[in-house]
Structure 1
């Protein structure tokens, strides 16, 4: 089998011309790399003619400091290697760029705030798998689509000019940032000029997801009735069919702005508002008065109105489930993890930011009020639903996704329901594992990048 990983040493430029690299003889023989005429060295968007100098009894590659600087490599590393005789191209990589919302250059140890540990874990995982990763923000993108200023790790976080990557993992957490003209221009140019692949390339709006999944008869069973709230007539119609409905901001996250509306009796309604401090309660003597209260918000916020579900609970606290699904080294969706989230006291949403607690899906089902045959096989049904929904997103939404956070619920009959799909699953909750272990979710992201780049 061909050796596909090579240890790359950075040496003084005086020893080696900028247009030459040294490579162990074994690699030259195995990949049939010519020694006489120059070949094209490819690293992300970088293309450079170089002469390959063979080295006997040496199992690696040496490059000069100037070339290393152009590659954005500040220290010796391990990369994967390929050679195409058709194009006389020697490719190193994959080069992965992670597009993040912001950096904090003055915080040397935590330049990415709460996701710094996740970023360092990616660096460590790349070192194991033979990839190179850097991190960049919208402010690092200039007019040139061939290079960006990014953060690399070399005995500490350092800035470097790096080529546009083979793969961009879009981790932007703000639509405003994602829609900036320089970001959209860079992503478009990187795709067309450098054949860069971008995954998780857009946010998902709640109605977009539900309308797309309704196209597959096999997925309808997971979908609570949902509509964009347009007028009082729609609110009346939904409240006549369901004793509880939810109003959710179309572009909301972390449970912000959710309103639960419950019919108490014929002419009495209660609205519960999710706030950071807990749940705010308000009574209305008619649905029209409730709508008048909400309609002011509708001028700035679009709401999805959704059928209320009788969720399973633990001691009266509602439980839902977050499944992380990712594409693997063959490009297939796999379930990486699924956790149960139990709402905190005085909250009806389960987000950790609002006092929710985590447990395994199995533990939560055992502790919940779900009993008998309804509880049997519930974790397996959740897993199956997550994978089927991910495939549905791929089929019916024209965008490229490599990982999805899928929020699911079980009702009191053990039926699985979809709550929402998040195309930018949070990395803030990631805590470091003992013994420098690397989480499966991090390893999978690099495996998928290797699949996309054929490394």
Structure 2
């Protein structure tokens, strides 16, 4: 088990570092690392019975280490002790206003940063403007005593990507920041990128373990494809390749008795619409006239489980833990709003816990099915997508026969389900594991799979 130790800064000790005596005689240690800063030191066991780390004030100054009343992990490898891990959380849009330095996202980030003592990590928030490449330091934002502060940190051991959207992610300057940290400083960068719906589908459809969960889907090419799928499934969904939050999703239903096509969607005024047309051509010329059809996906419609005659789907969060293993960290049901094409809260959807919808026997069955599917899909995505993935939010459905279907996978999932009071503990768990995983990534980076971890 990975253990974090309390650390304190002591005055008047020269360049000295005392490690917990329970680690035994580690002889031959010469250098202390904190992020990418290091310093030679007199390294020896702490004679006190208290299993703690003591770092002298002079050594702390040399390393830019200012943390007190904290716990840290010790990575011991090749005559060095690495203290940390120091975790940089990379985002954009940081402002000079210390009350809310990241605007409305400030509260979210403050909650992640508050996991420092529970995880033994030392996290800080930064954007491209806080980096001093010449001195290899970052003016990072932290929260102490419920107040935002700015401190100078060495380049970190690992970087956790929390860029807010695809447009920001594709900025040239931010791509260059990522490249330099990874290539010039060999710093692991985890949780990169937003998933592209069609790209994920194409990668997973060649994986036999993921294939049973994938609805039949095609990039939009012709009306004949939609006609064939309507004949097979009676309903299809039209989705944007880069969409999120349920934006731009349209449901098309063919009524054989009327020989009419119905389309359900949410318009620019955020109103739910249901319209009917004689043909797909007239529907598309009216509803999709301002959209690029090449950016759309046609997906099989599923007859979902329902609550009070409204369809239900499920948000399932998975996170990597401190051992690098996938865990299911939260499951919630989402009940569609009246007349809504999706179950998203902004479209009138309602968050429910599973026990609010199902009896004990059905709950256990659904929880097992969703968890099993989410873990298999997480492993499949990890194997088939580039980068170090730390968390995934799945939108899964269950049809009337009990089959689980994957509608979407999000690398930076929204957190609307955690507005439900019964899901608060799971919200805390997802935040904790986002930093717990940094311990694993740092371990692999510093020590490698053949090293020893203390």
**Residues in 1 aligned to 2:265 and 2:330: alpha-carbon distance in whole angstroms:** 30
Partner of 2:26: 31
Question: Shift of residue 351 of structure 1?
Answer: 1.3
Question: Shift of residue 169 of structure 1?
Answer: 1.6
Partner deviation per Cα, 1:59-88 (whole Å, 9 max, x = no partner): 43234379448536365532222333x3x3
Which residue, out of 348, 357, 366, partners 1:378? 366
Question: Shift of residue 192 of structure 1?
Answer: 2.9
Task: Indicate the SS of the match to 2:231.
Answer: helix
Which residue, out of 271, 276, 293, partners 2:263? 271
Structure 2: runs of 5+ lacking an equivalent: 444-452
The residue correspondences of 1:9-408 to structure 2 (distance < 5 A) are 9=9, 15=12, 20-23=15-18, 26=21, 30-32=25-27, 39-52=30-43, 57=48, 59-64=52-57, 67-68=60-61, 71=64, 73=66, 75-84=68-77, 86=78, 88-108=79-99, 110-141=100-131, 143=133, 146-155=136-145, 156-265=147-256, 267-275=259-267, 277-299=270-292, 302-366=295-359, 377-408=365-396
**Residues in 1 aligned to 2:433 and 2:334: alpha-carbon distance in whole angstroms:** 23
**Residues in 2 aligned to 1:204 and 1:23: alpha-carbon distance in whole angstroms:** 45
Which residue, out of 432, 443, 454, partners 1:443? 432
**Residues in 2 aligned to 1:429 and 1:378: alpha-carbon distance in whole angstroms:** 18
Task: Indicate the SS of the match to 1:349.
Answer: coil
Question: Shift of residue 135 of structure 1?
Answer: 1.1
Deviation larger for 55-64 or 202-211: 55-64
Task: From the superposition, tell whether residues 349 and 295 of structure 1 become closer, same or farther in structure 2 (CA, over 3 Å).
Answer: closer
Cα root mean square deviation, aligned: 3.3
Is 2:414 the counterpart of 1:426? yes
Partner deviation per Cα, 1:347-398 (whole Å, 9 max, x = no partner): 231112223222223433449xxxxx99882221111111111111112222
Contact 2:41 2:59 in 1 (8 A): no
Task: From the superposition, tell whether residues 179 and 290 of structure 1 become closer, same or farther in structure 2 (CA, over 3 Å).
Answer: same
Count residues with an aligned counterpart. 437
Task: Indicate the SS of the match to 1:297.
Answer: coil
Task: Indicate the SS of the match to 1:350.
Answer: coil
**Residues in 1 aligned to 2:227 and 2:370: alpha-carbon distance in whole angstroms:** 32
Task: From the superposition, tell whether residues 217 and 24 of structure 1 become closer, same or farther in structure 2 (CA, over 3 Å).
Answer: closer
Task: From the superposition, tell whether residues 33 and 359 of structure 1 become closer, same or farther in structure 2 (CA, over 3 Å).
Answer: farther
Question: Shift of residue 31 of structure 1?
Answer: 2.7
Task: From the superposition, tell whether residues 323 and 25 of structure 1 become closer, same or farther in structure 2 (CA, over 3 Å).
Answer: closer
**Residues in 2 aligned to 1:277 and 1:2: alpha-carbon distance in whole angstroms:** 49
Deviation larger for 231-240 or 216-225: 231-240
**Residues in 1 aligned to 2:352 and 2:6: alpha-carbon distance in whole angstroms:** 41
**Residues in 2 aligned to 1:28 and 1:390: alpha-carbon distance in whole angstroms:** 36
Question: Shift of residue 25 of structure 1?
Answer: 8.0
Task: Indicate the SS of the match to 1:298.
Answer: coil
Partner of 1:370: none
Question: Shift of residue 402 of structure 1?
Answer: 1.2
Question: Shift of residue 409 of structure 1?
Answer: 0.4
**Residues in 2 aligned to 1:232 and 1:213: alpha-carbon distance in whole angstroms:** 25
Task: From the superposition, tell whether residues 145 and 330 of structure 1 become closer, same or farther in structure 2 (CA, over 3 Å).
Answer: farther
Contact 1:3 1:27 in 2 (8 A): no
**Residues in 2 aligned to 1:272 and 1:217: alpha-carbon distance in whole angstroms:** 33
Contact 2:34 2:63 in 1 (8 A): no
Task: From the superposition, tell whether residues 8 and 289 of structure 1 become closer, same or farther in structure 2 (CA, over 3 Å).
Answer: same
Question: Shift of residue 294 of structure 1?
Answer: 4.7
Question: Shift of residue 260 of structure 1?
Answer: 1.0
Deviation larger for 130-139 or 261-270: 261-270
Deviation larger for 259-268 or 139-148: 139-148
Question: Shift of residue 316 of structure 1?
Answer: 2.0
Task: Indicate the SS of the match to 2:437.
Answer: helix
Question: Shift of residue 206 of structure 1?
Answer: 0.7
Contact 1:248 1:305 in 2 (8 A): yes
Contact 1:2 1:31 in 2 (8 A): no
Task: From the superposition, tell whether residues 205 and 148 of structure 1 become closer, same or farther in structure 2 (CA, over 3 Å).
Answer: same
Task: Indicate the SS of the match to 2:255.
Answer: strand
Q: What's the TM-score, normalizing by structure 1?
A: 0.85
